Amino acid sequence: MSQKIALITGATSGIGKATASLFAKHGIKLILCGRRKERLNAIASELQKQTEVHTLSFDVRDKASVIGSLQSIPASFSEIDILINNAGNAHGLDPIQEGNIEDWEAMLDINVKGLLYVSKAIIPGMIHRKRGHIINIGSTAGKEVYPKGNVYCASKYAVDALNQGMRIDLNGKGIKVGAINPGLVETEFSKVRFKGDSNRAETVYQGYIPLQPEDIADIIWFAVTRPPHVNITDLTVMCLDQASSTIVNKNYDNI
Ligand code: NDP
Ligand code: 8X3
């Protein structure tokens, strides 16, 4: 079988970057996306030792840029087998009455509309080829609302709905659709949520052993390597010390 091609959004950091590394180890050809060009270039030059890599720098909020970038993919990378809809973040953690409108817009524009723009560009080729696999990165925040999570949770509930909707509408077209919904994963996520406040971000992952981005990459790899008739539709994963969005055992030393 010819080498598979994967497009990963949000490949400059965290879950997307770890998935890119694991895919590269397995010889998957990669289209890596993100806004930070220097990071994309650095990751590409590392992974090019293992596989072919094409990079695309665009902001998923910018519809024209998404469409233009995805149309620019060279022919040798254009038959995308695997789409990892991963780009996204939380912005702020405030009660709804104190929420910042720009934060709300960022989360809905990136996590929901950005995922739609990218999917809209990639799905027709998959339908044409009668094959493909779309993995949507949701969250436990899309399964359970937590205090001050309001709009971020809404954006991830939307990802959950879109994951189901895509699977329903693409049924019979040879395309797998599934979501991976992680709990707390130690990435740049909290640094972004708290607008660069590293000290506050670090406390989110202290006192217990959180998931690592490589743990999610492993699960994504498992999902994309199932036999052709098997589709992982919806998988939620938390670390041992997390029981729900609000219950995290932070007394690791006392166990
Ligand atoms: P990171 O902050 O480490 O990575 C986020 C990635 O998304 C970066 O590569 C970033 O690239 C990209 N991104 C963000 N905004 C944009 C944008 N406007 N346009 C294009 N790319 C963008 O966080 P994670 O790896 O943790 O997050 C990845 C996904 O996992 C997100 O969807 C998140 O909601 C989800 N998730 C995270 C959890 C966690 O606890 N960490 C738990 C559950 C789900 P760049 O800045 O270069 O554009
Ligand atoms: C990220 C997990 O609990 O910080 O989606 O919202 S949480």
Q: If DSSP codes are grouped into helix, strand and coil, which group holds residue 149?
A: coil
Q: Give yes or no for a contact between 33 and 68, defined as CB atoms under 8 angstroms apart.
A: no
Q: Is the CB of 36 inside a 6 Å radius of any atom of ligand 1?
A: yes
Nearest protein CA to atom 6 of ligand 2, as residue: 141
Q: Are strands 82-85 and 175-182 parallel, antiparallel or unpaired?
A: unpaired
Mean pLDDT of 183-195: 98
Q: Is the CB of 242 inside a 6 Å radius of any atom of ligand 1?
A: no
User: Mean pLDDT score of the chain, rounded to an integer?
Assistant: 97
Q: How far is the CA of 1 from the centre of ligand 1 (A)?
A: 32
**Tokens describing residue 198:** 């590293």
pLDDT of residue 253: 60
pLDDT of residue 1: 47
Mean pLDDT of 152-169: 99
**Tokens describing residue 205:** 């992952």
Residue 205 is among the residues annotated as catalytic for this protein: no
- Give 9-47 pLDDT, tens digit per residue: 999 999 999 999 999 999 999 999 999 999 999 999 999
Alpha helices, DSSP H only, in the chain?
14-25, 37-47, 63-71, 101-107, 115-129, 150-169, 189-193, 198-204, 213-224
Residue ranges of domains in the chain, CATH in brackets = 5-254 (3.40.50.720)
What is the DSSP-derived secondary structure letter of residue 113? I
pLDDT of residue 52: 98
Ligand 1 atom nearest to 11, measured from its CA: 9
- Give 88-97 pLDDT, tens digit per residue: 999 999 999 9
Which ligand has the minimum distance to the alpha carbon of residue 34? Answer: 1
pLDDT of residue 157: 99
Q: Is the CB of 66 inside a 6 Å radius of any atom of ligand 1?
A: no
- Give 59-82 pLDDT, tens digit per residue: 999 999 999 999 999 999 999 999
Q: How far is the CA of 129 from the centre of ligand 1 (A)?
A: 29
Instruction: Single out the catalytic residue among 117, 146, 152, 205.
Output: 152
Ligand 1 atom nearest to 210, measured from its CA: 40
Q: Is the CB of 242 inside a 6 Å radius of any atom of ligand 2?
A: no
